[in-house]
Amino acid sequence: MPVNPRNPRKILVVHGVETGTDADQHQDLLIHDLVADRLGDLDISFSAELYRYEDINDQALAKYKLLIDLIIKTPVGAALANTAIDLVGDVVIALVDTGPAHEIREGLRTRIETEFAAGNPLYLVAHSLGSIYAFDVVNQLMAQPSYFDRHDRTTWPVQGLMTLGSPIGLPMFRKPRPSVTVLGNIGNYFRWRNYWDRTDPVVSGSFYGKPLETYVRAESYISASTGRGWTIRDRSVDTGKQWLLAHTAYWTLPIVGDDLVDMISS
Amino acid sequence: MNWKTVCVGIVLLLAGCATTTIYTSHFEAQNSAGQNREFVLYWNTTTSVFSGTKASPVTLLTQCSSRTIEYEERPVAGQSATQIVFRGEPGFDTSADSTELPPSGVCGRVLSADRLQNLSGPRIQFTVSCNPVSGDPFTVQDNNYLQARDIPYIVDITAMKTKDLTTDTPHRPSCTVHN
């Protein structure tokens, strides 16, 4: 069933590396409250749900979590910190098509296709490492002939992608993903908005939170030539927080909510 | 004292040494459909002794519209200079005098500073040079924004220190009086 543009909007939230289990993840409630607050009295029917994969992720990222625990407890932690960030990438890269990461991607893809079958316009909001999974699945779907006719948005299982605190600009993630999937010649544009704080260590790869000087993270995935059919916007924001606190501050940031209101209403 | 406590202490110290300021303007003008509307413009900066000053884009919200405009700091092509611009999106914005986006993609600019961290009151100047595209079946709300015109807008700015952006950031003006 094609997407009905007038149906209620669905926001599917993809979380990042988290502590706890699936039952502990409630980022969908944060996004729902943020959008509801920033909507004010505008009348847009929407709901937010969470794609949970922490139980799978716990197995995939056991090495990373063990190392972080060690770093926190030992005096040599600072010297090992940048290695820890690298290892996060190693886990994902090593599991591009097999193992738990594959399972996570397949689960997300199935969830998106279920929403598509229901005919609701779907918007993805992905945080941290969740943005890698979301990016990969959107590009996989875009490569399938049955979806994403550029002239007809009702064939799009995902209407827009918003990433928060994503490490996608780091070389370890950039290298195996040379660019976005070409959407087609002339027609509608797929929107990807990438929000990041300059001191967020997951975005910069600097464990010490050294501020990023660049303006480009997600926009490096598209060349200067037009025609890929994506509109990618890097949005460097001030979360009002520093370092790791910045990484978790996007969920309640008003500018993120205002832009989500914009995205789901068109 | 264990290392976990030390790390938490450092984080709190870093957070405590930062000062966050919200800059706001409320003004009335015409939207792109020629209707009188209220507008809210805001941005925020945080200055820390450890990491300098960082800033958010300037956000422009329109009464009775779901459209959110952001003026972002971007490098000027081929130069080391920067500018603060509203980048239009193909399919969603057109130049005010054609059916296409301007070749540069720029639909407006803040004239008062080249960097967001240097932007402050008591007033700022900015331009709007595009119109929203209407008629897309997926557009379920009024998507008008501030009317394009040749003369820059000049608005007064209020600055306020804050500990909580969620609470203190201004909202889209209520639409009730226009329903």
Q: Is the pLDDT of residue A7 over 50?
A: yes
Section B64-80 average pLDDT: 92
Interface test with A, best of B7, B54, B58, B117 (most A CBs within 10 A): B54
Q: Is the pLDDT of residue A264 over 80?
A: yes
Section B21-41 average pLDDT: 98
Q: How many angstroms away from the CA of B172 is the closest CA of chain A? A: 7
User: What interhelical angle do A130-142 and A99-118 show, nearest 10?
Assistant: 60
- Interface touch A211/B52, C-beta < 8 Å: yes
Give residue-wise pLDDT tens across range A81-139: 555 555 555 455 545 566 788 888 999 999 999 999 999 999 999 999 999 999 999 99
Q: Tell which B residues from 45 to 84 touch A, by Cβ distance under 8 Å.
A: 45-46, 48, 50-52, 54-57, 59, 61, 64, 66-68, 70, 72-75
Fold of A9-264: Rossmann fold (3.40.50)
Greater confidence, B135 or A259?
A259
Greater confidence, B135 or B178?
B135
Find tokens 């799978």 and name the residue.
A56
Greater confidence, A259 or A244?
A259
- The least confident of A96-110, B10-24, B25-39 is B10-24
- Interface touch B68/A77, C-beta < 8 Å: no
Number of structural domains chain B divides into: 1
- Interface touch A240/B18, C-beta < 8 Å: yes
pLDDT for the residue B106: 95
Domain, as residue range, for B83: 3-178
Greater confidence, B163 or A53?
B163
**B161 strand-pairing partners:** B21
Q: Which of A241, A258, A266 sits opposite B59 (nearest CB)?
A: A258
pLDDT for the residue A90: 46
- The least confident of A95-99, A178-182, B114-118 is A95-99
pLDDT for the residue B102: 84
- Interface touch A231/B90, C-beta < 8 Å: yes
pLDDT for the residue A73: 62
- Interface touch B11/A245, C-beta < 8 Å: yes
Domain boundary assignment for chain A? 9-264
Buried b (16+ CB within 10 A) or exposed e, A149-167: bbeebbebbbbbbbbbbbb
Q: Which of B7, B139, B176 sits opposite A265 (nearest CB)?
A: B139
Q: DSSP per residue over chain A, as a string?
A: ----TTSPEEEEEE--S-SS-GGG--HHHHHHHHHHHHHTT----EEEEEE--HHHHHHHTHHHHHHHHHHHHSTTHHHHHHHHHHHHHHHHHHTSSSHHHHHHHHHHHHHHHHHHHHT--EEEEEETTHHHHHHHHHHHHHTSTTS--TT-GGG-S-SEEEEES--TTSHHHHTT--SPPP--SSS--EEEEEEEETT-HHHH--TT-PPP--S-SGGGGS-SSS-S-EEEEEEEE--S--HHHHHT-GGG-HHHHHHHHHHHT-
Q: Is the pLDDT of residue B16 over 70?
A: no
Q: How many angstroms away from the CA of A263 is the closest CA of chain B? A: 8
Q: Is the pLDDT of residue B29 over 50?
A: yes
